[in-house]
Chain A
Amino acid sequence: MKNLLFILLLSVVLPCSVSASEAASGPRRIVSLSPSTTEILYAMGLGDRIVGVTNYCDYPEEAKRKPKIGGMSNPSLEAVVTLKPDIVVLTKDGNPKEFEELLHSLRIRTVVFFSRRVSELPGGIRQLGSALQAEEGAEKLAGKIERDLQRLEAASRRASGASRQKVLFIVWPEPLIVAGPGTAIDDAITLLGDRNIAASAASTYPKYSLEEAIRQAPDVIAIGKGSGMDMVEVSRGLISRMTSVPAVRYNKVCYLGDGLYRLGPRIVPGIEELAQCLERKSPR
């Protein structure tokens, strides 16, 4: 009986260990600790190597079916360790620094995705690529994003000589939280040749003064997507209090997706969506 059990056990363990030793190159078991790195890893073609993601990793669709390890700011160490990762991908801003140290103390390799700004994205992807020994996929993705960004900038309003519009990007209407300086959203607005009126605020996502938002008279208001909420409904009260600003008067208020919230491959469609919003002609 004991022998039988042993053989049974062996037959379960053996195939796994063989496939692990067969690993051609690079870490086979990756845990991603943020939605944006999850998206990048998928876009680099490493989807089948991902063994764990955060509870908020919802793109692409397959990511939802991966084992979950908790939130970004409070990942579960046990859940990560149980997945026996070869490497854990963290982000500089989203994950606690202490968590990386905990992983190191358990001799688990980590790589930190450092990019915060749109211009840093290709570099960050290449760095991930070399840490994961997936340079080819990383180069393909980074190169494509670089070309797309150049194309978008070349087609921007600034390039066409149009005057700069004043833009307010609302992350949440009540209380009014907007995209400030140092965010990918601010970069996207600048890249498209317009000006973020909250660019002078003191933090990245400030709680913004409604009074100042009215004084600055934005030409365009873009409202980002909140998780699973009807933003048109949620924003109704705020918009009704801003009827005097040009954006509301000339109906240049648009509701966008979540592409710009994640510094990953979907930043390009995110910028394209914003570009469409900024281009919309105001009725004369």
Chain B
Amino acid sequence: MSRAKIAALILIPLLIVLASLFLGPRSINPLALDGVEREILLNIRLPRVLVAFLMGAALGASGAVLQGVLRNPLADPYILGISSGASLTAALGIIGGLTFLGAFTVPVLAFIGALATGSIVGVMGWKRGGLWPERLLLAGVGLSFLFSALLMLMMSISTDEGLRRAMLWIFGDLSLSEWKRVPYGLGFVLAGIVLSATRAKALNALILGDEFAYSLGFAPHRERFILFVSVGLMTAASVSLGGMIGFIGLLMPHIMRFFIGSDSRMLIPASALGGGALLCIADLISRSLLPPMELPAGVITAIIGAPYFLYLLRRKDVLSI
């Protein structure tokens, strides 16, 4: 990979982060800050941009890992049911008005829901001493249906007001980003990215088949398990930071493959950077389109990302996982 590409991969997301920090319906000039603007910049925008970047990065990286682990270009972090499990427990907290952990109640509930679902999928996908891609996929899809149905059930018996709040959360809500959420988000997402990036060579081998990986000296089941855990951590952290964001986990890895190829060693960090940058842009747009009203960022990611993806799809002629 050329040096120019690496520079672009780092510089473009950095510029986007800076833009979403200072631009908006009202842009902030960092050289002439008054008291209110400093407060807005440091206590509202900065944590928000960081949370957006972390969420997007987690989704991009987990997408890249999962498509390889499951050997399926349609896999995304949400296909394992992790997000529907998280949505279910989060909606329980939102509609039920639970506040036992203060502002952390809903994120913690979502995280527990996500981890519990991930573990159930793991148990379901486990047979003869290891995880099997097809089993994981089917278990995830099955659980997704179950949890979505339970979520619908809960929403149909809730008040209209509780329903709207739950919907806003499920569609991805970055307005709740506070500094308090950054450290644990950073911890889990970074741990997931580092863990999966260190196993990237094994992932490359796994994509080509278990026998092949074995002959290269990797233990397929063990590698798959580690990668699965890293995806679970990243997705759970992302969902609990701000709900569900569509598109990034499924299509950011594909967009990156168009540019840098499918070597997981590069693909995982690149998808993380791209995912974080895309969510930052989407959030900037969602704040700026109809001020002072905010739109759900998760809707914007797909509206700007999908056409770009389709354009690339039309232009490139080689496709791979």
Contacts and interface: CB of A to CB of B under 8 A. Distances in A.
Interface of A: 56, 71-74, 171-172, 174-177, 198, 200-203, 206-215, 217, 226-230, 233-234, 236-237, 241, 244
Contacts of A208: 292-294
Interface string B203-231: 00000000000000000000000000000
B168 interface: yes
B148 interface: no
Nearest to A216: B292
A207 B294 contact: yes
Given A209-B292, A210-B175, 10 more contacts: A71-B159, A71-B160, A200-B292, A201-B292, A215-B36, A226-B161, A227-B162, A234-B99, A236-B103, A237-B103
| Closest 7 A/B residue pairs (Cβ) | A212-B292, A237-B103, A206-B293, A229-B97, A209-B292, A202-B290, A202-B293
B175 A207 contact: yes
7 contacts: A200-B292, A207-B294, A209-B291, A211-B24, A211-B26, A212-B292, A215-B26
Nearest to A212: B292
A227 B294 contact: no
A175 B170 CA distance: 12
Interface in B35-55: 35-36, 39-40, 43-45
Interface in B4-37: 24-26, 35-36
B2 interface: no
Given A176-B175, A241-B44, A227 B168 contact: no
Contacts of B159: 56, 71, 227
Interface string B106-150: 000000000000000000000000000000000000000000000
Contact of B294 (A56, A174, A209, A226): A209
Interface of B: 24-26, 35-36, 39-40, 43-45, 97, 99, 102-103, 156, 159-162, 164-165, 168-169, 173, 175-176, 178, 287, 290-294
A211 B291 CA distance: 11
Contacts of B291: 209, 212
Given A210-B44, A237-B102, A174 B176 contact: yes
Contacts of B45: 211
Contacts of B294: 175, 206-209
A187 to B, nearest CB: 20
Nearest to B98: A229
Contact of A172 (B24, B35, B102, B165): B165
Contacts of B103: 174, 236-237
A211 B99 contact: no
B44 A244 contact: no
Nearest to B243: A175
Given A201-B293, A209-B294, A234 B97 contact: yes
B156 A74 contact: yes
B175 A175 contact: yes
B102 A244 contact: no
A230 B292 contact: no
Contacts of B36: 214-215, 217, 244
A211 B40 contact: yes
Contacts of B39: 214, 244
A215 B40 contact: yes
Nearest to B293: A206
A169 to B, nearest CB: 14
Contacts of B161: 171-172, 226-227
A214 B28 CA distance: 14
A122 to B, nearest CB: 26
Nearest to A56: B159
Contact of B292 (A171, A198, A236, A237): A198
A175 B293 contact: no
Nearest to A237: B103
Contacts of A227: 159, 161-162
Contacts of B156: 74
With most chain B CB atoms within 10 A of its CB, the pick from A212, A213, A236 is: A212
B218 to A, nearest CB: 45
A226 B97 contact: yes
A237 B97 contact: no
B176 A211 contact: no
Point out which of A72, A175, A210, A229 has the most chain B C-beta atoms below 10 A from its C-beta.
A175
Contacts of A217: 36
A217 to B, nearest CB: 8
A228 B292 contact: no
Contact of A214 (B24, B40, B169, B178): B40
